[in-house]
Amino acid sequence: MTDAQPIWTRPARGSRGPTPGHSRDEIVRAAIALADAQGLPAVSMRAVATALGTTGGSLYRYLSSRDDLLDLMTDHAVGELKPYPEPEGDWLDQMLRLALRQLDLHRRHRWLSDVAQRPSSVGPATLSWFDHCLGTLAPTGAPTTAKFEAIAVVTGTVILFSRDRDAAAASATPFTGLDPATYPHLTAALARPGPPPAGDLFERALRSVLTGLLERPGRSGFGESGEKLVAEAVHPPDR
């Protein structure tokens, strides 16, 4: 199965041979279970195959590469974001709810952040999520570029905070026995950690960055002619 088309438009099987013993969905599910339990490096073709009771090379009857499998896994996981939360409050509240749902997804599937920063083929569930986010941001009237960037920043922040605990545990170890002369501020900060910051940092970060990126600044912000164009282009027919 070596096709130039992306996996989303490629048929799962032909019409000629015997009925396949497995399916793409079954393979993807097994791979996700493996990744959830033992991390992404454990998802090797042979490991997934043996989890399904077959051999490594047989998977290439269903997929054309491991990247295909990762793409399918990603989109399958992103599909768990549905149903999207009910629209409630202004666009910022709504966007925050979406981000929290995404954060929860990344905490359930920690391998998602490993797979996210790799050039991948975007699946339908991801497109749907992206489209929903764009719709949520429509009332801002911000340019398309800013919206795209804002959604990317949200995802980036989600990945950042989903790694929180691991990062904290990992970075605590090598931070012992530092020389106060060479690292004065760092040793001081570690010696007196101070109080935990008020409120949820995740929410604070997102609220501030989203308003900063998307909200209409006083008058020296977006160009006026551009605003009209964007307002026309973005106003959806059914919303």
Partner DNA sequence: GTTAACTGCAAACGCTGTTCGCAGTTTACA
Partner DNA sequence: TGTAAACTGCGAACAGCGTTTGCAGTTAAC
Question: Among a copy of itself, DNA, none, what does residue 165 contact (CB within 5–8 Å per kind)?
Answer: none
Q: Which of 12, 33, 152, 172 binds a copy of itself (CB under 8 A)?
A: 152
From the list DNA, a copy of itself, none, partner contacted by residue 47 (C-beta under 5 to 8 A by kind): DNA
Which range binds DNA by CB under 7 A, 9-17, 90-98, 189-197, 230-238? Answer: 9-17
**Considering CB under 7 A, how many residues would be counted as binding DNA?**
27
Question: What's the DSSP call for residue 86?
Answer: P
Burial code (b: 16+ CB inside 10 Å, e: under 16) for 156-165 equals: ebbbebbbee
* Residues between 44 and 63 with contacts to DNA, criterion CB under 7 A: 44-47, 54-58, 60-61
Instruction: Give dist(CA 198, CA 176) in Å, integer.
Output: 27
Residue 79, CA distances (Å) to 74, 92, 101, 152 in order: 9, 23, 12, 18
Is 120 one of the binding residues for DNA (CB under 7 A)? no
Say which entry of a copy of itself, DNA, none residue 226 contacts (CB below 5 to 8 A, set by partner kind).
a copy of itself
φ and ψ at residue 45, rounded to 5 degrees: -55, -45
- Nearer Cβ to DNA, position 31 or 81? 31
- Asked if 187 touches DNA (CB under 7 A), the answer is no
Can you state the angle between helices 144-162 and 91-108, rounded to 10 degrees?
40
Place of tokens 């002369």: 181
Q: How far is the CB of 105 from DNA (least distance, A)?
A: 23
